[in-house]
């Protein structure tokens, strides 16, 4: 059994209403976690910019980048996010 968290639920407080889910499975400190995503877009080489330390970023967000299409992409530290979720005991029901 793997607990599933929803990125949409964590960051936007919205439920993902899909019959089938795209899921990213991660391992952290010997346990497995799953995160539902809207979709996988692919792979891209990026230049990462640190987030200004005077700002308080959302949990797990450690940096940002500008993608090839001009949109902003955020870099998530999964360990940081999992620690936050376990502290808050946030369980996403899908």
pTM (2 decimals)? Answer: 0.71
Which long-range contacts link 67-74 to residues 24+ away (Cβ below 8 Å)?
68/44, 73/46
pLDDT reported for residue 71:
86
CB 11, CB 58: distance < 8 Å: yes
Does residue 90 have a pLDDT over 60? no
Rounded CA-CA distance 13/74 in Å is: 18
pLDDT reported for residue 94:
42
Structure tokens at 77: 């530290």
């Amino acid at each position: 059994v793997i607990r599933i968290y929803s990125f949409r639920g964590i960051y936007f407080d919205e439920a993902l209403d899909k019959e089938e889910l795209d899921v990213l499975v991660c391992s952290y400190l010997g346990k497995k976690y799953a995160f539902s995503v809207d979709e996988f877009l692919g792979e891209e080489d990026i230049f990462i910019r640190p987030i200004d330390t005077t700002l308080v970023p959302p949990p797990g967000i450690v940096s940002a980048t500008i993608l090839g299409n001009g949109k902003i992409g955020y870099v998530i530290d999964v360990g940081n996010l999992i620690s936050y979720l376990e502290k808050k005991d946030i369980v996403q029901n899908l």
